[in-house]
């Protein structure tokens, strides 16, 4: 579980009439993206993707992401620890990544997630200059550490569900394998799925 006392950072969405959570995927667009998209489409689940733009090429399936109703946000150009950069360097990471996503997709970028979840007040200032909402998470799957344990990925999420929670996942093979069961178990707990607004 994670929370932030910083009012300029969101970790959850405003509760709706029904219980909902937000699935977010970091570190793409990767080679497993088509598998994630196929599962989300079959299950009719929307998601938010935070992409490193060094990995974004026109031939990546970004069109499918948008056509299926998902959202693309920035995860910087190259995934640095922003706390180690100056304000100007942080601004450049954000501005250039946003420009690349918008140039390729034609869609405005409004959401940003700091790599490693590390940020400082310069990060917030840089994001605000670009009209970006800084998004962290409430529930972490720890999928990046659980290559051979998809059940633990699922448990890490399902055991900590709460209304409006933003869930941290990554574009990894083990996450693809866990995703169908994860979606089903979230639904079994009475939750639906929403997007960031």
User: Which of the four pLDDT bands, split at 50, 70 and 90, describes residue 17?
Assistant: confident
> Active-site residues: which are they?
26, 170
CATH code, domain with 74 = 3.20.20.370
Note whether residue 4 is domain-resident: no
Note whether residue 3 is domain-resident: no
Average pLDDT over residues 8-16: 88
pTM attached to this predicted model: 0.95
Note whether residue 146 is domain-resident: yes
CB burial of residue 89 (10 Å; 0-12, 13-18, 19+) = middle
Q: How many domains does the chain have?
A: 1
What confidence tens digit (pLDDT) does each residue in 132-185 have?
999 999 999 999 999 999 999 999 999 999 999 999 999 999 999 999 999 999
Helix residue ranges per DSSP H, 24-170 = 33-43, 62-67, 87-105, 121-129, 150-158
Note whether residue 1 is domain-resident: no
Residue 85: domain span: 9-193
Note whether residue 52 is domain-resident: yes
User: Which of the four pLDDT bands, split at 50, 70 and 90, describes residue 2?
Assistant: low
pLDDT at position 15 is: 78
pLDDT at position 112 is: 98
pLDDT at position 60 is: 83
Number of alpha carbons in the 13 Å side-chain half-sphere of residue 89? 11
Q: Is the pLDDT of residue 3 over 80?
A: no
């Amino acid at each position: 579980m994670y929370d932030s006392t910083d009012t300029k950072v969101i970790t959850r969405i405003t509760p709706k009439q029904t219980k909902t959570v937000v699935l977010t995927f970091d570190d793409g667009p990767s080679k497993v993206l088509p598998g994630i998209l196929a599962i989300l489409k079959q299950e009719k689940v929307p998601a938010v993707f935070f992409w490193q733009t060094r990995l974004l090429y026109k031939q990546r399936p970004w069109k499918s992401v948008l056509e299926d109703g998902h959202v693309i946000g920035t995860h910087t150009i190259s995934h640095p620890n922003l706390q180690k950069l100056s304000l100007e360097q942080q601004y450049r990471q954000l501005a250039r990544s946003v420009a690349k996503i918008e140039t390729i997709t034609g869609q405005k970028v409004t959401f940003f997630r700091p790599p490693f979840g590390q940020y400082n007040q310069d990060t917030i200032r840089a994001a605000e200059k670009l009209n970006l909402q800084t998004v962290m998470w409430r529930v972490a799957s720890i999928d990046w550490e659980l290559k051979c344990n998809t059940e633990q990925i699922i448990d890490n999420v399902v055991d900590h569900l709460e209304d409006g929670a933003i869930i941290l996942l990554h574009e990894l093979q083990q996450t693809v394998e866990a995703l169908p069961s994860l979606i089903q178990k979230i639904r079994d707990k009475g939750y639906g799925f929403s997007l960031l607004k």
